[in-house]
A and B are shown apart, each in its own frame.
Chain A
Amino acid sequence: MEVRASRTPALHQLSGWRRRVKSLNGWQIASALAAVISLIPLMFILVHLAEPASDTWKHMADYLLLPYITRTLLLMLGTGALTLLLGIPAAWLTASCAFPGRKIIEMLLALPLAIPGYIMAYSYAGLLGSGIMNLAGLSAVLSFALYPYVYMIARSAFLQQSASLREAARSMGLGQGGAFWRISLPMARPAIIGGLALVMMEVINDYGAVKYYGVPTFTAGIFRAWFSMDDLNAAVRLSACLLLVVFALLSLERYQRGAARISEVRTHAPARIQLQGLKAFAALAVCALPVLAGFLLPAVKLLHWNFQADSPDYVNLANALKNTLFLAAAAAALCVCVALLLAWTARISHEQKAHLSVRLATLGYAVPGAVIA
């Protein structure tokens, strides 16, 4: 890093810049590109924010902004809390215990991810009537659809925990419950909060269910400004407010993770706690409940409706299925490629800028569909 005296500062700067460019390899450039693409909607918003506020925006700020904020936050809190209640016990039981039916229920627990929140909301309204069509009901219904995020992430965190730690805890006199509350749960906390953040972003993202249940949230507001009021300016401003919330959420998640970085070396596969009799039955029941609420009940209602339809349109259904599968496969392939790229870049380079582009690219997930659209 020494500078020869004969070089002018400008030249020095130039060579430094060149050196830095040379040190950028193809991977880093590609990652930066991915980050830039996922940030295009953000740039768009920033550019439009510079325009003066429209009358519609003033109207919305006067009449709608506060209710949108309150409703969105309450829905996030309610749904978040319920996904924890549904997801964590099932995750711990399937990861740490042995009981009859565990292997099947372990897979079934992820199934609700296959039912979109809107369909879930619609089928529950069909099952239970309009009594559940309010904020509390919507929190419950959305948590049935979204708990698998918490379940899957928490489960893999529990599975990775070393048996020796738990055994040590037991040997020091902690009971099964004590070991869970004082060792397993705190160690899985960063993962669980990550899952929770995904849940909350899905909640923010929902449009169909909130509209049908009459609980208009921020996303509904963005569409109202954009479509009903035909005002992009106001929609952009609402999007910016929403992004602030999302960034706050992400920072919280990051802060959490930063504060508790736990690494461990796995010694041996943890011995599962053998459950028998009533305890095994209770464990199965705790795990079966989310499957029942998140998959079986809505699926039965949907099938019921299908059989009631005059002549189910199988040709259209097949076409729709084909399109869906194609879109899903294409999107999945793209996601995997980008994710691999980002992970690889993060792995081979220890530089701040690479991590920055990886971090920026993950923001893409958090940007609600409404904002991107």
Chain B
Amino acid sequence: MAWQGCATPGKQQAEPEKVVNIYTHRHYDTDQQLFDAFEKQTGIKVNVVKAADDELINRMESEGPNCPADLLITVDAGRLYRAQERGLLQTVTSPSLDAQVPANLRDPQGHWYGLTRRARVIAYSKDRVKPADLSTYEALADAKWKGKVLVRSSDNLYNQSLMASILSYNGEEATLGWAKGIVANMAREPKGNDRDQVKAIAAGEGDVALVNTYYIGLLSTSKDEAERQAAAAIRIFFPNQEGRGTHVNISGAGIARFAPHPEYALQLLEFLTGKEAQSAFASANFEYPVNPAVEADSLLKSWGTFRSDTLNLSVLGKLNKDAVQIFDKAGWK
């Protein structure tokens, strides 16, 4: 199923229609602007279907060879791995993709490539918490944080992937112990999304929260006064800097196994990991670029540089189910 080669404009004999169909979980305005720019540059029309990762994967599976999707874009590496496991993606190799995406942010065989990075960090109250008290994800399970930890539900992919990474480093027993410790320290039952956890710190419901970086960027530039105030009430801490580094997940893409227009999909993938698109992801949506040649947004840079976990992200997919079961055993709703 491997499809080799760069996007050469010469071979379009079989497919006169210049379109590329995308199934994506990303629902940001930036993406549409980038697709428009791609269309202008190449004349290839971009059709978009938006839904949640799992729904898209199930849909591709049931559509089988008739699936119109060329490119699957998810917001979690674990889901790309799942699509790969079910044989829904094909491998591609391209020198420009290899240059634009670091090795740990793509599948070793080329089934999928990262588009953006999101760090899962500790947001803390700037008034009630000293950064010196923070160190690792593991340390949030200490009894000193009793009644102070905010985190969303275990249904959430970002939490599942964080748990999978902890599981891969610490083993099942220690990870279950950690999860139980977090549950015991929760300021309230898990509810809402990442933004709601930050708002809860501002409202004094808890002191520390596990959140994705780009939500904080979105909050601090929000039109809503209350959201900006919530972002102003917190600071960001990158955990596990002394050890393996902060957990990083990707939003990424893979070319569908039965893609009707694989060349255009590859062209789009190269475009999205290229400089222009990467700066757009960074500045408009506050995600960290995957392309090492592109700098992060100034707000992101103001949080400082950090060491990120270099665990190959396919591990998040392999351990996803075990991670979910640990949540349940620990009573993490």
Contact = CB atoms under 8 A, between A and B. Distances in A.
Contacts of A27: none
A171 interface: no
Nearest to B221: A310
Interface stretch (A78-86, A160-168, A224-232): A224-232
Interface residues of A, number: 29
Interface residues of B, number: 28
A310 B221 CA distance: 11
Contact of A214 (B29, B191, B325, B329): B191
B333 A308 contact: no
Interface in B175-201: 188-193, 196, 199-200
Contacts of B328: 59-60, 63-64
B224 A308 contact: yes
A129 B223 contact: no
A3 B193 CA distance: 73
A216 interface: yes
B322 to A, nearest CB: 10
Nearest to A71: B333
Contacts of B223: 308-310
B125 to A, nearest CB: 16
Contacts of A214: 152-153, 189-192, 333
A129 B188 CA distance: 14
Contact of B324 (A215, A220, A224): A224
A212 B193 contact: yes
Interface in B191-231: 191-193, 196, 199-200, 203, 205, 223-224
A125 interface: yes
Contacts of A229: 321, 324-325
Given A228-B160, A308-B224, A216 B196 contact: no
A130 B196 contact: yes
A270 to B, nearest CB: 48
B320 interface: yes
B321 A230 contact: yes
A308 B227 CA distance: 12
B54 interface: yes
Contacts of A309: 223
B246 to A, nearest CB: 24
A133 B155 contact: no
A211 B329 contact: no
Contacts of B192: 125, 130, 133, 212, 214
Given A125-B192, A130-B199, A63 B329 contact: yes
A129 B191 CA distance: 12
A211 B200 CA distance: 18
Contacts of B191: 130, 133-134, 212-215
A310 B30 CA distance: 13
B128 to A, nearest CB: 18
Nearest to B150: A130
Contacts of B331: 63
Contacts of A227: 54
Nearest to A212: B192
A63 B144 CA distance: 28
Nearest to B153: A214
A223 B324 CA distance: 13
Interface in A111-135: 125, 129-130, 133-134
B275 interface: no
Contacts of B320: 228, 230
A47 B331 CA distance: 32
Contact of B29 (A60, A230, A313): A313
A63 B333 CA distance: 11
Given A212-B192, A229-B324, A129 B203 contact: yes
Q: Which of A227, A229, A313: most chain B CB closer than 10 A?
A: A227
11 contacts: A56-B325, A60-B328, A130-B205, A211-B153, A211-B155, A214-B189, A214-B190, A216-B153, A220-B155, A224-B155, A226-B54
